[in-house]
Amino acid sequence: MKRIPLPTLALSIACAVLVLTAVDASKSVARAQEKPAAEPEAKPKQDPAPAEDASKDTPESDKPAQEKPEGDAPAEAKLPDFKNYEEIVAHFEPLRAEIQQDYEQKARLRRLTPDDVEKLNSRLKAIDEKFVDAVEVYVEKAKEWNPAPADLLPARRELVMFSSRFGEWEKTIEQADSFMEHHEKDDADSTREVSWLRADAISQIEGREEEAVKELAGFIENFGESFEAGMARMQLYRMYLYTDRVDSAKRLLHGMLELPEVIEDPNAGDFIATLIDNLGNIGEKLPDFKHQTPEGDPQSRANLVGKPFILWYWSSTEGVCLEELPALREVAKTWKNDLRVFPISVNGSKEAWKEFVDQEDESSNLLHRFEGNVEGEGDEKLSSTEMGFSVIPMTILVTAEGRIHRFDVPSPELERTVRAWLGEPTPDPEPAKKADGSGEKAPESGEKKGQGS
């Protein structure tokens, strides 16, 4: 059981981020995947001829880039005193082009390593940060000019876009407000882009979900047929769930099924229908089932209820599950006094699962259980089958009373979802004091691996 690939509409947010942040390396990747030319046949050895400059026969574009010397970085060069936005762009574009050239040369020569990519991205970000500094200085100086130069509009728009690209959400909002103050009625496309980035920035800040609902709904009302509106609807859906407005989320999704772009894209329609089905599970009673502890002790729903808990269905043989495991451990550790976390294995091999669990650190606060999917091991009901899902990993939040609170929570949203549900984690109790006033270690909270509830 593996994750269903997300369709075009559901990937719109990721696509937008890539559009803003990528260095346009598609051509480089294509070149990197080309097969190297066949090696020439070996020739008989001859007396060495006088050495010639090999670079004469090598096209400039195929020569490897000169390695930058290691060691102390050169002193920072002072930026020119730019007189307009066009000068700023003209100054920084060659610097970006140089990085792109380095990328393409290494990719073409099949010398591009993950370390190279990290270094090139680091260089690009340093240039982008200097670009932003230059634009900010120019905008600040231009405020005193009369009349104000026309290129302040693209300059301010770029500041909004780069703040969003860097994940500086508060600064994005500040820059967007400045843009709207000066240019809201000057260019419709720029106003739409900045409005979306502002609403998205608000939705990224925990504690501002109510405000994000208003901003996103307003954006959809004003720009409902734009490309960004698809991303805004998905963000609004998430904000509805964070603010416990399940009915509003359902209405939003049903409305999305009527959009022309969804009707024309069966994958998008199927994805939205799956989200609607997931919402239908919220509030339902968790079905009964049979699980096993690592020691082989039987467990049922009755052993789990009494305290909020998370069921996380997974397999130790699936890479995507192992990638999400650290996020689950972090939640279990952070809210160890408020909820319990049960990874439910659907491994086809109990031995493989047991071998993995035996290496798990007990301090992770994960309470491993085995449901399995092993043929010929009895007729116990599989809770995964009872709840009607066939993909993993699958994360389900359940109340202390045994009712589903959230169904299929994506790993990147798990911590924020739990915080919206339970609030801030309860701190550890103060150490108990002995009669002489000395401290005594407080008892550990939660359970040890394999113990029942």
pLDDT tier for residue 150 given thresholds of 50, 70 and 90: confident
| Cβ–Cβ < 8 Å for 323, 412 | no
**More reliable by pLDDT, 431 or 450:** 431
> Looking at domain 12-29+81-281, which CATH architecture does it have?
Alpha Horseshoe (1.25)
**More reliable by pLDDT, 311 or 300:** 311
Domain 291-429, CATH among 1.20.140.10, 3.40.30.10, 1.10.3720.10, 3.40.50.1780: 3.40.30.10
What stretch(es) of the chain map to CATH 3.40.30.10? Answer: 291-429
Reduce the DSSP state of residue 150 to 3 states and report it: coil
**More reliable by pLDDT, 419 or 51:** 419
State the pLDDT at residue 435. Answer: 60
Tell me: pLDDT of 62 over 50.
no
Q: What is the mean pLDDT of residues 13-32?
A: 35
What stretch(es) of the chain map to CATH 1.25.40.10? Answer: 12-29+81-281
Q: How far is CA 140 from the centre of its chain?
A: 34
Residue 287 in tokens:
């079905």
What sign does the CA torsion over 370, 338, 445, 320 have?
positive
Calpha distance 78→59 (Å, rounded): 35
pLDDT tier for residue 437 given thresholds of 50, 70 and 90: low
Tell me: pLDDT of 453 over 50.
no
The model's pTM? 0.75
H or E element, residue 103? helix 85-108
Mind giving me the DSSP string for 365-411?
Answer: -B--EE----TTS--PPPHHHHTT---SSEEEEE-TTSBEEEES--G
| Cβ–Cβ < 8 Å for 183, 191 | yes
Q: What pLDDT digit, counting tens, does each position of 272-296 carry?
A: 999 999 999 999 999 888 888 898 8
Q: What pLDDT digit, counting tens, does each position of 388-397 carry?
A: 787 899 999 9
Least confident of 139-153, 161-175, 254-268, 436-450: 436-450
Reduce the DSSP state of residue 6 to 3 states and report it: coil
Residue 244 CB partners (closer than 8 Å, separation 6+): 420
Tell me: pLDDT of 211 over 60.
yes
What would you measure as the largest C-alpha separation in the chain, in angstroms?
Answer: 94
